[in-house]
Structure 1
Amino acid sequence: MRYIDSFNHFFPDRLWNRMLASTGTARDIGMRMRGIPTIYDLEARLACVDRFADFNYVQVLSLGMPPLESLGEPQETEELAKLGNDGLADLVDRYPDRFVGYLASLPMNSQHAAREAERAFANGANGLQLHTNVNGRPLDDEAFYGVFETAARHGRPVFLHPSRAANMPDYLSETKSKYEIWWTFGWPYETSAAMARLVFSRMLDKLPDLKVLAHHMGAMVPYFEGRVGPGWDQLGNRTSDEDYKGLLAQLKKRPLDYFKDFYADTAVFGSRSATICGLDFYGADRVLFASDSPFDPEKGPGYIRDTIAVLQSLELSNEDREKICFRNAESLLKIGRC
């Protein structure tokens, strides 16, 4: 068996140091990131990967939080994107036995975001990591269409990563989200909402070749299959100020079928029940192994070990197990064929 970890995070040296040296927003990377050596220390990261050598374990790298577009004006975020993408490409080139690919990040607040995607694809990027909103703007905003069109044209997937902070309150009477509710429940909601916007904006009809992966096993969607299915089959029955019934008639497929066309990953923090639920919804053809390393309590190996253990505990055919563990990643990310 081989394990390709398709969604985990790392900051290459030049980007990390540039962010620390910044006099602006980029300098405040956050207490969580600074306290996890395996997200910026290459030797620590290599040692973590090597702990799983017996599992034939490798990684597809992507940057960690926060989203680049939140770190400054376009000129600064364009520079940060180039440093990040070139740094990840260099790691893949230097350590192909540990890092088999990378997801490019874009300066989504820049009108040149699609141009950076083109440049990254030419430099071997296997896909894009986009966050579920761009400084509060939805991904189906017309300004971002060119990014999705570029990904579809190059046959590269978009991986959705949730982005939401405590400044989004849970109640209208308050000014912030308490108790990290914004993360625990807010992030799955963010991802699910972004998926819905791509569906109902007809983005997936306009770009039929576009492939999108929703981080953390498709967020809320598998568990709420009844609402996404029979519930949204009645789109418009609850709304009087917009013609959603007309929109429903314009869609080429049933809403549920669009959501089943997304890809998902196994990064559910070692939850066996969530893994089973997601696999039941998406099927073995659309789920990729991922750990979300290094954000476990052990700061690196924990979620890798736990996720492998969950998959090993499931009754799967060898064919399905191989699809989830590495074959889907090889195919979707064109690993070895960029």
Structure 2
Amino acid sequence: MDLKLDAFAHVLPQQLLNDIKKDVPSIIEDNLFLQIPSLSDFKIRNQAFPQNVKQIISNVNLNPEDYFDSQKSAQMCWKANSELLQIQKDNSNIFEAVVAMVPMNNLKETVKIIQDVSKNSEFVGIQLFTRALGRSIADDSFEVIFQEAEKLQVPIWLHPVFDESKRDNNITFSWEYELTQAMYQIVEAGYFEKYPNLKIIVHHAGAMVPFFDGRIKHTMSEQEYLDFKKFYVDTAILGNTKALELALDFYGEDHLLFGTDAPFAVMPNGATSEVMKAIDEMDISTSTRKKIYHDNLINLLKEG
């Protein structure tokens, strides 16, 4: 069977967690998802791991800039990136490559990390979140990240976080709204026009965008509509074949990537089986399915 590359899976570097706990003892109690054992226990992760699948790993939602000053945040990101690489090397039978962390309150060091990623084949990109330091990821202050990522052809993995100013946040719907809004803000900022080789992989099948194709087309400019189609998206919506077909219709067969969000949602190792079942039931050709499972990610990285 052909190898399947899971573009969006997560781990929790244990030393990073321990370092944060020294100053934030309640970090686990405040973020209960950190208690999922298979985020950091790779013996569990290896149990019943799906055959012919290898994961691209990125850090779970645990960002030093939320707790520490710019200097310490940068130090922790550099250290955590080394830890992520070691996790991949120690578990190379299931983990293929690493997406690097960046300190959003230290853009000088973030640029250095992007430069390091561009020279290091063990990294495949950087992870950004829909918001940072209380601001949209498309805030002018963060534009240098997109500029440098495009210049050095370092892909961006875009993951949602809650907007803490809202009182009704929930895990089912809020993150999909935040992803959609971040995509809208990136398009509105004109980043795909300024940085035409920019590569952004969006979690959760592009969230609300495929469903609102017509609304986007008729309420925004033609260029903005076309810019929405420049995102890459994964298949991490826990199944739902028809929704994946809708995402495929909107983004095209070259921009949909196999991704599972493992190990979340289905214990102990995530919804990989559910996601693969949904992909296998899509009304698509064998060649398109192969693109989703493997070729699209490889081609995206080659272009970078």
Identify if the C-alpha distance between structure 1 residues 289 and 197 changes in structure 2 by more than 3 Å, giving closer, same or farther: same
Amino acid at match of 1:168: S
Identity score, percent: 29
Map Cα deviations across residues 262-295 of structure 1 (whole Å, 9 max, x no partner).
Answer: 1110000122222121112112110000000111
Alpha-carbon distance in structure 1 between the residues aligned to 2:272 and 2:142: 33
Alpha-carbon distance in structure 2 between the residues aligned to 1:197 and 1:94: 38
1:306 matched to 2:274 = yes
Aligned match of 2:127 = 129
Map Cα deviations across residues 216-258 of structure 1 (whole Å, 9 max, x no partner).
Answer: 001110001111111214xxxxxxxxxxxxxxxxxxx521100
- For structure 2, list consecutive stretches of 5 or more residues without a partner in the other structure: none
Tell me, yes or no, if the aligned pair for 1:38 and 1:45 is still in contact at 8 Å. yes
Alpha-carbon distance in structure 2 between the residues aligned to 1:69 and 1:333: 28
Aligned match of 1:105 = 101
Aligned match of 2:44 = 44
Aligned match of 1:77 = 73
Aligned match of 2:157 = 159
1:14 matched to 2:10 = no
- For structure 1, list consecutive stretches of 5 or more residues without a partner in the other structure: 170-175, 234-252
Q: Secondary structure at the match of 2:254?
A: helix
Q: TM-score, normalised by structure 1?
A: 0.83
Alpha-carbon distance in structure 2 between the residues aligned to 1:272 and 1:73: 44
Aligned match of 2:86 = 90
Structure 1 ranges of 4+ moved more than 4 A: 24-29
Alpha-carbon distance in structure 2 between the residues aligned to 1:264 and 1:88: 23
1:269 matched to 2:267 = no
1:232 matched to 2:220 = yes
RMSD: 2.1
Of structures 1 and 2, the larger Rg is shown by 1
Map Cα deviations across residues 150-202 of structure 1 (whole Å, 9 max, x no partner).
Answer: 2112212111111115x433xxxxxx21xxx4332221111111111111111
Amino acid at match of 1:67: N
Q: Secondary structure at the match of 2:228?
A: helix
Worse overlay, 100-109 or 69-78: 69-78
Alpha-carbon distance in structure 2 between the residues aligned to 1:186 and 1:168: 12
Alpha-carbon distance in structure 1 between the residues aligned to 2:301 and 2:29: 32
Residues 231-270 of structure 1: matches in 2 within 5 Å? 231-233=219-221, 254-270=223-239
Tell me, yes or no, if the aligned pair for 1:70 and 1:135 is still in contact at 8 Å. yes
1:328 matched to 2:301 = no
Alpha-carbon distance in structure 2 between the residues aligned to 1:148 and 1:24: 34
Q: Secondary structure at the match of 1:284?
A: coil
Worse overlay, 223-232 or 272-281: 272-281
Aligned match of 2:194 = 206
Q: Secondary structure at the match of 2:54?
A: strand
